[in-house]
Amino acid sequence: MDHYDAAFEELNPLPRLLMGPGPINADPRVLRAMSAPILGQFDPQFRAYMVQTMALYREIFQTRNEWTFMIDGTARAGIEAIFVSVIEPGDVVLVPVFGRFGNLKVEIAERCGADVKVIETEWGAVFRPEEIEAALRRHRPKLVAICQGDTSTTMLQPLADIARLCRQYDALLYVDATASLGGNDLPVDAWQIDAVSTGLQKCLAGPPGVSPITVNDRVTAVVRRRRHVERGLLGPGESQGPGTRIASNYFDLAMLMDYWDEKGLNHHTEATTGLYAARECARLLLKEGLEQVFARHALAGRALVAACQAMGLALFGDIAHKMANVTGVYIPEGIDGERVRSALLQDFNIEIGASFGPMRGKVWRIGSMGYCARKDAVLITVQALETVLAAEGFRLLRGTGVDAALAVYREAKGASPVRA
């Protein structure tokens, strides 16, 4: 059967356990919410869901920011919407790079016409505050753009001191929390972070396709100055902002703010099922409780680390700054990393991640996040990895990884349940 004929077969993918760096398995309750009836974008019910979703994500981001809403598109859409709406050609943007996704922000900022200044540290490390301060003093950027967690290196960048320094040097701070929000603490207001974006498909236990963002009054002032009303919507009394028109129509935050606020000025047709998913992701997380969710991710991460160490696998990077939800593991000498990943997928229906750039072919990335940050998922993955490694000739005492992971869970007096 060729690809064209196969396209007429019913969609019926094998169920996988997604234990890579994301996407992960969506919570079944999120998938059920996505099957709710489609509503018109200006139906009062749907507008109420939009307002409710904004309120829920203020709690997720730990902020009082009015402009906390959804960008339709995967996590990269949120990054690009903030960049294209804040950055004007010639603006100085500082990007501290500690992995692949720092380099992504360099590219997006360059496409916006920014004068991009890059500082780098080795993959597997994070930045010290004094390194950021030196760059702030030297470049005086309008915007600093940094990851909280970069899945390419599994590192979690401390941000509180960096946010304080950005205020001291009058720079806006944007944080890419695609891989970290929901599994690691990110108190936006307490740390005085100006803008954050994320995605549903990692710690929030949803599908790719929606990027929640939050921006504070400092960013809003920059965006509002560039406000532009689409020509076909321009009516009496509507005024344009004095700043440069935002280059993208779809990602124009000023226009999106007009759409999400009470005036409901038409923009694109909101992604109905995406909004349902975002709302349910936030509802479930908050019902469980932020602290409990953080603890669940931390516990799963500790169990996975203990299992890997017990099996004789070396961990990648500065473990003191490891993300709770992703673990980097060196591929043992003489082991074909892609053969192991393929065997896990074909024999056990389990997916773990490869790596990028300088770590390509050297490191596996094993996730334990969102709906997959639970005891059974961790234990099944460890047991399957033991089996495949043994078959590949890696010397280990079978069962040691599972026993080590179980011991971590037992010491914690039981894992937090997935269902709150």
Res 418 pLDDT > 70: no
pLDDT at 369: 98
Average pLDDT rounded to a whole number, residues 242-271: 94
* Alpha-carbon radius of gyration of the chain: 22
pLDDT digits (tens, 9 = 90+) for 44-82: 999 999 999 999 999 999 999 999 999 999 999 999 999
Res 416 pLDDT > 60: no
Split at pLDDT 50, 70, 90, the class of 233 is confident
pLDDT digits (tens, 9 = 90+) for 125-164: 999 999 999 999 999 999 999 999 999 999 999 999 999 9
pLDDT at 235: 79
Average pLDDT rounded to a whole number, residues 178-207: 98
Q: How far apart are CA 323 and CA 297, in angstroms?
A: 9
Where exactly are the structural domains of the chain?
Answer: 28-285, 290-411
Virtual CA dihedral for 405, 408, 414, 415, nearest 10 degrees? -70
Split at pLDDT 50, 70, 90, the class of 200 is very high
The residue assigned the tokens 């469980």 is 288
Q: How far apart are CA 58 and CA 255, in angstroms?
A: 20
CATH architecture classification, 290-411: Alpha-Beta Complex (3.90)
Q: How many CB atoms lie under 10 A from the CB of residue 218? A: 15
pLDDT at 274: 98
Res 417 pLDDT > 80: no
Split at pLDDT 50, 70, 90, the class of 5 is confident
Q: How far apart are CA 172 and CA 180, in angstroms?
A: 20
Res 4 pLDDT > 90: no
pLDDT at 150: 96
Annotate the chain with three-state secondary structure: CCHHHHCCCCCCCCCCEECCCCCCCCCHHHHHHCCCCCCCCCCHHHHHHHHHHHHHHHHHCCCCCCEEEEEECCHHHHHHHHHHHHCCCCCEEEEEECCHHHHHHHHHHHHCCCEEEEEECCECECCCHHHHHHHHHHHCCCEEEEECEECCCCEECCCHHHHHHHHHCCCEEEEECCCCECCECCCHHHHCCCEEECCCCCCCCCCCCEEEEEECHHHHHHHHHCCCCCHHHCCCCCCCCCCCCCCCCCCCHHHHHHHHCCCCCCCCCCCHHHHHHHHHHHHHHHHHCHHHHHHHHHHHHHHHHHHHHHCCCCECCCHHHECCCEEEEECCCCCCHHHHHHHHHHHHCEECECCCHHHCCCEEEEECCHHHCCHHHHHHHHHHHHHHHHHCCCCCCCCHHHHHHHHHHHHCCCCCCCCC
Q: Taken in order 190, 196, 202, 206, is the CA torsion positive or negative?
A: positive
pLDDT digits (tens, 9 = 90+) for 293-352: 999 999 999 999 999 999 999 999 999 999 999 999 999 999 999 999 999 999 999 999
Q: How far apart are CA 278 and CA 412, in angstroms?
A: 31
- In sequence order, which residues have a C-beta less than 8 Å from that of residue 393 and are 6 or more positions away? 334, 335
pLDDT digits (tens, 9 = 90+) for 7-26: 888 889 999 999 999 999 99
Q: 398 or 162, which is more confident?
A: 162
Q: How many CB atoms lie under 10 A from the CB of residue 399? A: 14
pLDDT at 415: 44
Res 420 pLDDT > 70: no
Average pLDDT rounded to a whole number, residues 35-39: 97
pLDDT at 228: 92
The residue assigned the tokens 């995406």 is 274
pLDDT at 303: 98
pLDDT at 266: 87
Chain centre distance of CA 151: 9
Res 388 pLDDT > 90: yes
> How much of the chain exceeds pLDDT 70, in percent?
98
The residue assigned the tokens 């304080």 is 164
Split at pLDDT 50, 70, 90, the class of 414 is low
Dig out the tokens for 288 from the structure. 């469980």
pLDDT at 6: 83
Chain centre distance of CA 32: 22
Chain centre distance of CA 95: 18
Angle between helices 253-260 and 75-86 (to 10 degrees): 110
Asked if residues 186 and 174 have their Cβ atoms less than 8 Å apart, the reply is no
Q: How far apart are CA 231 and CA 365, in angstroms?
A: 48
Which class would CATH give 28-285? Answer: alpha beta
Q: Is the pTM of this model over 0.75?
A: yes
